[in-house]
Amino acid sequence: MYAAPLDFAPRRTLLGHVTTTPESRKTPWHVSVVGIVAVLWNAMGALDFTMTAMKNTAYLKALTPEQLDYVFGFPLWAKAAWGVATWGSLIGSFLLLARSGLARHVFLLSAIAMLLTMLENFVLTDGLKIMHGGAGAIVFAAVIVLIGFLLLWYAYAMYRRGVLR
């Protein structure tokens, strides 16, 4: 079986070194699918954070006064972590669609912030009890973390394959 040689072209790196890389790489179809699904998923988290941070009464009408006190009483570091986790994931998703290697760094920062948020909600406070969450809340939180780490892994895998620049 005959395999056509790849078209390699010389290219200068930032330090001025000359390397040879394939002139163009075709983006796998799944990058767009993962990127679009990730944008939609993470837009929901960014919307939740924003509506809560803006204290939108229509959005928060289902919460009891005790739950509102809990949510609005988060320490500054927990609010910041929540914002970085949600908005970082959304920005990382757009960077993934743009085939930017920065996506992996943004997803890493978001994953760390996500873990800090979970620490505040489930370990340092009685968030599960106050928010009347049960096993479903724990499963949903685990799904959020799993998806965040899968996106992080995916961005690193696509970077190593040369799909992200």
* Pick from 7-21, 83-97, 105-119, 136-150: least confident: 7-21
Residue 137 φ/ψ, nearest 5 degrees = -65, -40
State yes or no: pLDDT of 21 exceeds 70: no
Q: What percent of the chain lies above the pLDDT cut of 90?
A: 60
- Is residue 15 very low, low, confident or very high in pLDDT (cuts 50, 70, 90)? low
Q: How far apart are the first and last CA of the chain?
A: 32
Q: pTM for this one?
A: 0.79
Residue with the larger pLDDT of the pair 148 and 22: 148
Centroid of chain to Cα 133: 23
Say if residues 52 and 59 touch (Cβ distance below 8 Å).
Answer: yes
- Is residue 8 very low, low, confident or very high in pLDDT (cuts 50, 70, 90)? very low
- Is residue 111 very low, low, confident or very high in pLDDT (cuts 50, 70, 90)? very high
- Could you give the CA distance from residue 21 to residue 18 in angstroms, rounded to a whole number? 10
Q: Where are the domains of the chain?
A: 28-160
